[in-house]
């Protein structure tokens, strides 16, 4: 597949993830609650996996790209272009959300940003945030790598991945507002303000560590 088409698919896919997931949290969070927000994130990935999975692989997430690389499923030369496309797509979607909220009477508030300490929905600290994001991303990548393995049942990977992401959000929204995706965290932090930006390093470091570890572990598990 043409590289530009793959990058465009990653842009649109990540745009949809942020618009659907973070949009639900920022615009309808009080009405749908944690369950609704969790399902929204899962549904964005599920729908895009069917829509663009055959074009770009539907990573939508720098941690996923790096985890797939660590698992031997992705080429090094494509890592940076994919991450750039994901970041641009996420920021574009956050810009749309910001404009929607700015043109209404609704307050910007936390803008669905990730955080710990005072910025954690449940008041969880730095260690809890690091541990949660690392472990949740680790298992997210195990699900992705397993569901997309050539030996796995065909056609069901998007369902497993989408439901996996929904479950991850159900577990970890109270801790960090759930990242497991540095692009999603970056896009919201830009509009949420100084504190979200100063804490952003956690939501790059922990997901990447968890993803790379999962890639290495699954590679070892799946070798015959």
Give me the CATH number covering residue 123. 1.20.1080.10
- Domain residues for the domain of 18 are 3-222
What is the pLDDT at residue 105? 63
> How many alpha carbons lie under 13 Å from residue 1 in its C-beta half-sphere?
14
Q: Please give the Cα distance from 185 to 173 (Å, whole number).
A: 13
Residues 92 and 12: their CA atoms lie apart, in Å, by: 10
Name the domain count of the chain: 1
Instruction: Enter the DSSP assignment of 176.
Output: H
In the three-class reduction of DSSP (H, G, I as helix; E, B as strand; rest coil), residue 111 is classed as: coil
For every residue of 180-198, DSSP letters joined together read: S-HHHHHHHHHHH-HHHHH
The predicted model scores a pTM of: 0.95
Question: Number of H helices and number of E strands within the chain?
Answer: 9, 0
Say if CB 196 and CB 189 are below 8 A apart.
yes
CA–CA gap between residue 210 and residue 130 (Å, rounded): 10
What pLDDT sits at residue 15? 98
d(CA 4, CA 123): 42
Along the 224 residues of the chain, how does pLDDT read in single tens digits? 799 999 999 999 999 999 999 999 999 988 999 999 999 999 999 999 999 999 999 999 999 999 999 999 999 999 999 999 999 999 999 999 999 998 876 666 678 999 999 999 999 999 999 999 999 999 999 999 999 999 999 999 999 999 999 999 999 999 999 999 999 999 999 999 889 999 999 999 999 999 999 999 999 998 86
pLDDT of residue 30: 80
CA atoms within 13 A on the CB side of 190: 16
pLDDT of residue 108: 63
* Total count of residues recorded for the chain: 224
């Amino acid at each position: 597949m043409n590289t530009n088409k793959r990058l465009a698919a990653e842009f649109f896919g990540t745009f949809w993830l942020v618009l659907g997931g973070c949009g639900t949290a920022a615009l309808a969070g009080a009405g749908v609650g944690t369950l609704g927000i969790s399902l929204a994130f899962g549904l964005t990935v599920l729908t895009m996996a069917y829509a663009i999975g055959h074009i770009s692989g539907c990573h939508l997430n720098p941690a996923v790209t790096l985890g797939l690389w660590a698992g031997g499923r992705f080429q090094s030369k494509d890592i940076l272009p994919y991450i750039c496309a994901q970041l641009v797509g996420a920021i574009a979607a956050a810009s749309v959300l910001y404009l929607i909220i700015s043109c209404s009477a609704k307050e910007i508030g936390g803008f669905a940003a990730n955080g710990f300490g005072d910025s954690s929905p449940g008041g969880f600290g730095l260690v809890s945030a690091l541990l949660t994001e690392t472990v949740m991303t680790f298992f997210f990548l195990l699900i992705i790598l397993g569901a997309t393995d050539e030996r796995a049942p065909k056609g069901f990977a998007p369902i497993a991945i989408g439901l996996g992401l929904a479950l991850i959000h159900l577990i970890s929204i109270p801790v960090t507002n759930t990242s497991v995706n540095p692009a999603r965290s970056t896009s919201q932090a830009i509009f949420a303000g100084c504190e979200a930006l100063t804490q952003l390093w956690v939501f790059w470091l922990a997901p990447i560590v968890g993803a790379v570890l999962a890639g290495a572990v699954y590679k070892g598990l799946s070798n015959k």
